Amino acid sequence: RSTESCSQSLRWCTRSISTGSSHSTQSTTPAKDADTTALELVVSPHMPYMKPYTTTLSNPAEHSEDHRTLWYTIPKEEFDTVLSSADHAVPFNYWKQVQVFREASMMIRRPAVSVISYIKQLKLNTMAPPKFMFYGAGGTGKTCSIAHVTHFLSKDGFVIVMVPWIDRILKQQQRKRPFEILQSNSVPGRWDHTRDSAEWLKFFRTQNLATLNKLQLTVTKTY
């Protein structure tokens, strides 16, 4: 069609777009502008109810299957002490987001809730500690689930022995380029990773400071 005939057709046609409708309707009311189509957007004042996607429960011991897929906020002092005091304890991109938004929120995932539930039922004074393995494709939340369980253990008074950068140490061994090593004084023929050891001891003390102060542990030897 020519431009003139299209313009004449548009003069007598308007389209009304309403939410929830997948088609347009025609009206015989002339358009205000002869060369354009008048569009009218109708928005319903009654918005559907949406369940909250967060929970106010910041203690992982209170999380259950009912809270799965919700986000909970870790108090800043607990995040800095338990999870942010060492590299690789949480994914680096997640750590950067925490620094930007000044808030550490984590999704409650089923694997973490299951492990926390199992730990609550254990009688560790009568059995050896069990082992739990998180597995799955990359980017599915394994590290964050471990961080969730670690937060629970810290709140529940466990002494945490966590080596989040073990992959870095193994890669150093494979490449035969460790950061810093010295010959062992206690075991001839072996080498001590002095820098990694110092970093880990500092991390262990920071991560378990509240628990260690409560237990009042002492040593019988001088190191």
For the stretch 111-163, pLDDT in tens is 999 999 999 999 888 888 889 999 999 889 999 999 999 999 999 999 999 88
Q: Give Cα separations from 59 to 40, 74, 123, 148, 153 (angstroms).
A: 49, 8, 21, 10, 11
Whether pTM exceeds 0.85: no
User: What is the maximal distance between C-alpha atoms in the chain?
Assistant: 99
The H or E element containing residue 113 is helix 110-121
Q: Spell out the domain ranges in the chain.
A: 3-42, 51-160, 161-207
For the stretch 181-215, pLDDT in tens is 788 888 888 888 788 888 888 889 889 988 888 88
Stronger pLDDT, 173 or 29, i.e. the higher one: 173
